[in-house]
Amino acid sequence: MTNAKLEGTQPQSIISGVAYQRCINPQCGYTLDVGQVRTACDRCGDLLDIEYDWDRIRVPSQLSHFEQMWLQRHSPLRFSGVWRFHELLPFAPAEKVVTVGEGQTLLQKANFVANFVGLEKENLFLQYEGMNPSGSFKDNGMCAAITHAHLTGARRAACASTGNTSASLAMYSSVTGLMKAIIFIGSGKISYGKLSQALEYGALTVQIAGDFDDAMQRVREVSKDLGIYVVNSINPFRLEGQKTIMFRVLEALRWQVPDWIVVPGGNLGNSSAFGKAFIELKQLGLIERVPRLAVINAAGADTLYQLYSRRGLRWNSGQPDMGVVRDYYDDLDSRSAKADTIASAIEINRPVNLTKCLRALDFCDGVVRRVTDQEILDAKAQVGAGGIGCEPASAASVAGAKLLREEGVIAPSDRVVCILTGHQLKDPTATVAYHTTDQEKFNEVLGSRGVSRASFANRAVAVPNEVEAIVRAIQLYS
């Protein structure tokens, strides 16, 4: 390991020499102190990773060690489902980390949904990341990014968002009072549940006449000009926090590695973080076997599927054929193609973490599939009917698992974990439209998306305002 020379004004509070930033392109390998703020490699422009000098960290020899952290939950550091695993993401001193109690999430054995997916009973698990304080998995990463932002002296943090990143950033900013949140949203695409959070938590909300991919581009430019800290998932510290989702999945399975992890793919931060978690656990000898990874795109935002499954793009030992990617994007531009799916959280055509995700797919023998909005909403209805529920994008994981089961890629006896990335109440518009009896409402919200039926609708029963009619209806339907 060669640490880059410290540049400019270095905050002394950050551990130096234990953690560092490194370009993910092995041929470049540029390194940088963790005190520096970058969203890309200075030398080649590729993504950055946080790397650790593991020999100098006291990593527990058994994963079960982390269960004992829960006994110390009176300490905010141990109460956090992220910082409980501090030894596996030690880029900041333990006493400096930011937490609002994120990561108290649930892995549920979901037999009802297993039946829908086509798995043997007891074999499907749903990881409810919607139980986080701001209602999505983003809090796992945001606490890590805000920790780093604060250590580097940031007073303003920004993100482009399809909704949940901004809700999370806005929440951390207001709870901690450490910095001002500035969020960039595209026009019209953000769900009310998410927008209402950002507004209420007091974030400066900049609505751009464009889509998410435009907002993402602008936030990078504007933040660079103004020196604002960017918390999108191009921020490598965020992904460190998101590794802990996998640690908690393993913990809930009593440290047994499942056969499959299935996750929706948008900007591909989560899938990238999961891959890195398994690379490191394996390297540290904390697991023997690695699960397979399935990343699921929405059919209306299927860049990863197109590149990986149709055009054969691979990590290729860190030298993916970026010509294939450029050609694909040029083609999107020439057709003025825009991402379009009811699963707004994954309505992204230019995933910023593409190369990291390729690495994760390579390490975890991954597959990529795409599912239609019809399949997403039907899967979401089944997840909801099984209890707790999720937002549309999250259900892509369950729809994807079902598809892979039908293809025979996943066997009925495989143990499968689907990540439910966001809370059921994030996007009530889609849910109510699905279950409505009002055909016009259904068409308005879902018809344009190619959704033609609500296979598992639970429709309200209309009755006259009379006791007798109500009694009759209840007896008929229950």
CA distances from 120 to 179, 202, 226, 250, 398 (A): 48, 46, 54, 20, 15
Q: Does 51 bind Zn ion (CB under 5 A)?
A: no
Q: Nearest distance from residue 222's CB to Zn ion, in Å?
A: 24
The pairing of strands 48-52 and 31-33 is: unpaired
Q: Does 393 bind ligand PLP (CB under 6 A)?
A: yes
CA distance 343 to 451: 12
For 469, residues 6+ apart whose C-beta sits below 8 A from its C-beta are 463
Q: Nearest distance from residue 304's CB to ligand PLP, in Å?
A: 9
Rounded to 10 deg, the angle between the 192-200 and 428-435 helix axes is: 150
CA distance 253 to 249: 6
41 binds, among Zn ion, ligand PLP, none (CB under 5 to 8 A by kind): Zn ion
Q: Which of residues 223-282 bind ligand PLP (CB under 6 A)?
A: 233, 264-270
Q: Which is nearer to ligand PLP, 36 or 132 (CB)?
A: 132
Strands (E), 7-113: 19-23, 31-33, 48-52, 106-109
Contact residue for Zn ion among 23, 231, 257, 304 (CB under 5 A)? 23
23 binds, among Zn ion, ligand PLP, none (CB under 5 to 8 A by kind): Zn ion
Q: Nearest distance from residue 85's CB to ligand PLP, in Å?
A: 19
The residue among 117, 195, 209, 181 whose CA lies nearest residue 414 is 117
Q: Does 46 bind Zn ion (CB under 5 A)?
A: yes
Tell me phi and psi for residue 81, to 5 degrees: -70, -10
Contact residue for ligand PLP among 80, 105, 136, 173 (CB under 6 A)? 136
Binding residues with ligand PLP: total (CB under 6 A): 18
CB atoms within 10 A of CB 301: 27
CA distance 243 to 270: 8
Q: Does 349 bind ligand PLP (CB under 6 A)?
A: no
Q: Which is nearer to ligand PLP, 152 or 303 (CB)?
A: 303
43 binds, among Zn ion, ligand PLP, none (CB under 5 to 8 A by kind): Zn ion
Q: Does 339 bind ligand PLP (CB under 6 A)?
A: no
Stretch that binds Zn ion, among 15-23, 162-170, 188-196, 442-450 (CB under 5 A): 15-23
Q: Does 322 bind Zn ion (CB under 5 A)?
A: no
Structure tokens at 196: 């209402």
CA distances from 6 to 13, 35, 92, 147 (A): 14, 8, 17, 20
421 binds, among ligand PLP, Zn ion, none (CB under 5 to 8 A by kind): ligand PLP
Radius of gyration of the chain (CA): 22
Q: Nearest distance from residue 24's CB to Zn ion, in Å?
A: 8
The residue among 150, 143, 137, 152 whose CA lies nearest residue 32 is 152
Structure tokens at 218: 């602008």
Q: Which is nearer to Zn ion, 23 or 69 (CB)?
A: 23
Contact by Cβ (8 Å): 290, 363 = yes
Q: Nearest distance from residue 328's CB to ligand PLP, in Å?
A: 18
CA angle 125, 272, 79 (to 5 degrees): 60
Q: Report which residue's Cβ sits closest to ligand PLP.
A: 422
270 binds, among Zn ion, ligand PLP, none (CB under 5 to 8 A by kind): ligand PLP
What are the residue ranges of helices labelled H in 57-120?
76-79, 111-117
Q: Which is nearer to ligand PLP, 90 or 269 (CB)?
A: 269
Q: Nearest distance from residue 17's CB to Zn ion, in Å?
A: 21
CA 273 and chain centroid, separation: 9
391 binds, among ligand PLP, Zn ion, none (CB under 5 to 8 A by kind): ligand PLP
CA distance 131 to 274: 19
The residue among 113, 124, 215 whose CA lies nearest residue 163 is 215
Q: Nearest distance from residue 220's CB to Zn ion, in Å?
A: 17
Contact residue for Zn ion among 15, 32, 37, 41 (CB under 5 A)? 41
28 binds, among ligand PLP, Zn ion, none (CB under 5 to 8 A by kind): Zn ion
User: Would you give the binding string for ligand PLP spanning residues 420-439, x where CB under 6 A is met?
Assistant: -xx-----------------
Binding residues with Zn ion: total (CB under 5 A): 8
Q: Does 389 bind ligand PLP (CB under 6 A)?
A: no
Stretch that binds ligand PLP, among 95-103, 143-151, 195-203, 387-395 (CB under 6 A): 387-395
> DSSP readout, 183-240?
EEE-SS-S-HHHHHHHHHTT-EEEE-SS-HHHHHHHHHHHHHHHTPEE-STTSHHHHH
Contact residue for ligand PLP among 117, 250, 345, 433 (CB under 6 A)? 345
Q: Which is nearer to Zn ion, 173 or 355 (CB)?
A: 355
Name the residues that contact Zn ion, by CB under 5 A. Answer: 23, 25, 28, 30, 41, 43-44, 46
Name the residues that contact ligand PLP, by CB under 6 A. Answer: 136, 138, 164, 233, 264-270, 345-346, 391, 393-394, 421-422
